Structure 1
Amino acid sequence: MFIPEKYKNNDQKDIRNFLKSNSFGILINTINGKPWGTHIPLELSTNSANEEILVGHIAKANLQSKNLVNGDQVLCIFNGPHSYISSSWYRDEEVPTWNYIAVHVYGTVKIQNNDELLAALNTLVDTYEKASEHPISLKDMSPRTMRQITGIIGFEITIDDIQAVKKLSQNRTHDHPKIISALEKQGPSEKAVAEEMKKQSPNDY
């Protein structure tokens, strides 16, 4: 993706933390010459060769699944907080803009076998059930319920390239206090952008 140098995020630890915290992404491939996207969990992990991978699954009824094959090249998009930035918050006249955080992951598909799919589903459910008051486990579900797994395919995506952008008004640091103050008076996404901006210059806040 297009990333001006001043907005490029090269902090590899920060990028991995972002992928883990914003794992509901968009899987994109091409079907009959047209781009196709599906919104699904894509969990950052490693394979037996200690290579970084994304792990996911998709319904067989989804046309995209019929075009996912071993060796296929795909793009996965992950979005973080974003917000409109009014130029009324600037010291000098300028056009408005948008602040946001996003990561694009390019990779190569490997279709999972049934055992790999089941293991990945157990890991996924166990991870997110930790926050539940009464967590469930796939291991406790009946064979009848678990037959639903036959309706999906699982896959791993070996990561070939990561592109990360963090556009947080880096070119207007003198306006940060007013921008942050304005964002903190708005909704959750705007407040999250304000918090990310504070991290850029933590000693100032």
Structure 2
Amino acid sequence: MYTPSNFAIDDLNELHQQIRGTRLAVLVTHGEQGLQASHLPLLLNVDQGPNGTLYGHFARANPQWRDLQNGAEALVIFAGADAYVSPGFYPSKAEHGKVVPTWNYVAVHAYGMAEVFTDADRLRTLVSALTDRHEAGRINPWKVADAPTDYIDGMLKAIVGFALPIQRLEGKRKLSQNRNAADIAGVREGLAASPDVHDQALAHLMR
């Protein structure tokens, strides 16, 4: 990911925060079938490895897990808030007109090689943890144990889990840091006034 130094996220806690805040990541590999990508909910364990370890699972019918099994490096993309930035947001437009559109966004890329596993107990622990995370806050949260044991046993046979120690992390926070203070304020105010919730989320990050 092209990341000028003034856009780089170097703080590990902030990188982990973005990972946790991304509900659906994109895992990309290159193997015998070329480039493949899957959209997956993942768990982060910060206590395993210097950068943490990611956990997730594929449908067994998804051939991408074989790339991991064969030792392919994976790129996992965690996309955050993003917004189109109109030149009309910049006060400097009225001064000299030398402005063009751009895009502000936050993203984290994680790289590593994964261990693939099919052990039923380990898979049950993984899917239970994923379920508990995303059911949290519901009045009556569903748990894996709520389903019949034989049914869950059959479902576990249909997935393949993986643990991916993060070997390299890159983060980018492009929030108009390359503009002067007046232009930054103009972008923040322009996005905050937008009816689009994505624009508003990006404006919130610029505060």
Common topology (TM > 0.5):
yes
| Pairing partner for 2:101 from 96, 102, 126 | 96
Percent identity of paired positions between Structure 1 and Structure 2: 29
Whole-angstrom distance in 2 between the partners of 1:176 and 1:70: 47
Aligned residues: CA RMSD: 1.8
Q: Is the Cα–Cα contact under 8 Å of residues 83 and 98 in structure 1 kept in the other structure?
A: yes
- 1:114 corresponds in structure 2 to 120
1:180 pairs with one of 164, 183, 188: 188
CA positional deviation for 1:72: 3.2
Paired amino acid for 2:168: D
Change (3 A) 1:196 1:128: same
Which whole-Å CA distance do the structure 2 matches of 1:48 and 1:39 have between them?
23
Alignment partner of 1:163 out of 147, 159, 170: 170
Instruction: Identify the residue that residue 66 of structure 2 maps to in structure 1.
Output: 66
Asked if 1 retains the 8 angstrom alpha-carbon contact of 2:76 and 2:111, the reply is yes
Q: Secondary structure at the match of 2:104?
A: strand
Q: Is the 8 A contact 1:23 1:43 kept in 2?
A: no
| 1:190 paired to 2:181 | no
AA of the residue aligned to 1:154: G
CA separation in 1, counterparts of 2:79 and 2:51?
A: 23
Q: Which runs of 5+ in 1 are unaligned?
A: 199-205
CA contact (8 A) 1:105 1:159 kept: yes
Q: Structure 1 95/38 Cα, relative in aligned 2: closer, same or farther at 3 Å? A: same
Which consecutive unaligned segments of at least 5 residues does structure 2 have? none
| Partner Cα distance (2:188, 2:65) in 1 | 43
* Partner Cα distance (1:171, 1:50) in 2: 31
Confirm or deny: 8 A CA contact 2:120 2:156 kept in the other structure.
no
Residue 7 of structure 1 and its aligned partner are, at CA, apart by 0.6
Q: 1:150 aligns with which of 149, 154, 157?
A: 157
Inter-partner Cα distance in structure 2 for 1:196 and 1:106: 25
Question: After TM superposition, which residue ranges in structure 1, 4 or more long, deviate above 4 angstroms?
Answer: 46-51
Moved more, 158-167 or 175-184: 175-184
State the 1:116 CA deviation. Answer: 1.6
SS of residue paired to 2:137: coil
- 1:177 is aligned with what amino acid? A
Output the CA distance in 1 between the equivalents of 2:65 and 2:144: 23
CA-to-partner distance for each residue in 1:128-156, whole Å, 9 max, x for gaps? 11111111111121034311121110000
| Structure 2 counterparts to residues 29-40 of structure 1, below 5 A | 29-32=29-32, 34-40=34-40
Higher percent of residues as strand = 1
Provide TM-score, normalisation by structure 2. Answer: 0.89
Give 1:162 shift.
0.1
Structure scoring higher RCO (CA < 8 A, sep ≥ 6) equals 2
Query: Distance between the aligned counterparts of 1:40 and 1:126, measured in 2?
Result: 16
Normalised by the size of structure 1, how large is the TM-score? Answer: 0.90
